Amino acid sequence: MRLATFNLLHGRSPGDGVVDTGRLRDALKALDADVLAMQEVDRGQDRSGRVDQTALAADALGALHARFAPALIGTPGRHWRAARPGDDTTDPAYGVGLVSRLPVARWRRIALGASPAVLPALVDGRRLAVIRDEPRVAVAAELAAPAPVGTVVAVHLSFAPGVNVVQLLRLARALRDAPRPVVLLGDLNLPGPVPPAVLYGWRSLVRAMTFPTTAPSLQLDHVLARDDAARPLPAVERALAVPADVSDHRALVVDLGA
């Protein structure tokens, strides 16, 4: 079973600043993931060709099960509002996505809150602006038996130090009763390994630099797992960071044994 997590930066290449849907599709297909968690995902945004990028990923991977969880309705860096549970709108949205080739028995959206933090950033690669932190959300899929993993989760945490740790702990509490093994995939905005003391009972499956993609010096993206003796996680056979010219992050890929 191959698991992957990838912060898409809505598919904007750091090389030329262009969002090319075909190039993004090819990069996602090349990951060949059975489960793919994505962050900074667009749906219906002008800047990315009004594509539903979660649906694009599902089609590229031949995955029949997919879910987009909007964090906000509108466009980051411009006008937006926090997404609400059950939001069903055709307006542009932005958030996290999760696709699975394995059948999903149940989906869950987990709200993680926001912070008052602001961050100077390039908007659409063209103009410098001060952006406020968006609400954060996770999407979890409970996989149908006999999948080797019970629950997979996609998440993107705050860039504000301390706030991201609080959100991670909030997420871990929400997943306390989720079917195990639980695998958490995402951009945690934590530059380095997650200390076991912070997330007791969880372990990291991969140590690799993921940001920036050209000469990575930080691991912001992580794959964490929680299992138990009754249902242990299959052994990790391979784990690596994969560069792709569609984002400022590298994708993390983890191959599990039988």
Residue 77 is part of a domain; what is its CATH number?
Answer: 3.60.10.10
Structural domain for 16, as ranges? 2-256
**pLDDT(132) > 80:** no
Q: Which helix (H) or strand (E) holds 23?
A: helix 21-31
CA angle 255, 112, 120 (to 5 degrees): 90
Cα–Cα distance measured from residue 182 to residue 148, given in angstroms and rounded to the nearest whole number: 10
Which pLDDT belongs to residue 139?
98
Query: 142 forms bridges with which residues in the sheet?
Result: 106, 151
Residues 6+ apart with CB under 8 A from 99: 35, 36, 38, 54, 57, 58, 61, 63, 65, 66, 67
CA–chain centroid gap for 217, Å, is: 20
> Which class for 238: exposed (0-12), middle (13-18), buried (19 or more C-beta within 10 A)?
exposed
**pLDDT(195) > 90:** no
**C-beta of residue 239 within 8 angstroms of C-beta of residue 253:** yes
Which pLDDT belongs to residue 62?
98
Cα–Cα distance measured from residue 54 to residue 51, given in angstroms and rounded to the nearest whole number: 9
HSE (CB half, 13 Å, CA atoms) of 23?
18
Which pLDDT belongs to residue 11?
97
Residues 6+ apart with CB under 8 A from 183: 3, 35, 149, 151, 152, 153, 205, 223, 224, 225, 233
Rounded to whole angstroms, what are the CA distances from 7 to 100, 230, 249?
17, 33, 6
DSSP secondary structure code for residue 90 in this structure = S
**C-beta of residue 232 within 8 angstroms of C-beta of residue 203:** no
**C-beta of residue 8 within 8 angstroms of C-beta of residue 246:** yes
Which pLDDT belongs to residue 127?
58
Q: Considering its fold, how many domains does the chain have in total?
A: 1
Residues 6+ apart with CB under 8 A from 129: 77, 120, 121, 122, 123
Which pLDDT belongs to residue 59?
98
Which pLDDT belongs to residue 76?
87
DSSP secondary structure code for residue 186 in this structure = E
Higher-confidence position of 109 and 194: 109
How high is the mean pLDDT of the chain? 93
**pLDDT(165) > 90:** yes
**Longest CA–CA separation in the chain, Å:** 53
Helix axes 21-31, 53-61, angle to 10 degrees: 50
pTM above 0.85, yes or no: yes
Which pLDDT belongs to residue 192?
84
pLDDT, average across residues 16-25: 96
CA–chain centroid gap for 47, Å, is: 20
Q: Given pLDDT bands bounded at 50, 70 and 90, which one contains residue 193?
A: confident
* Residue of 226, 209, 210 lying closest to 153 (CA atoms): 226
Cα–Cα distance measured from residue 179 to residue 193, given in angstroms and rounded to the nearest whole number: 24
pLDDT, average across residues 218-226: 97
| pLDDT digits 0-9 by tens, 78-100 | 889 989 887 767 899 999 999 99
Q: Given pLDDT bands bounded at 50, 70 and 90, which one contains residue 225?
A: very high
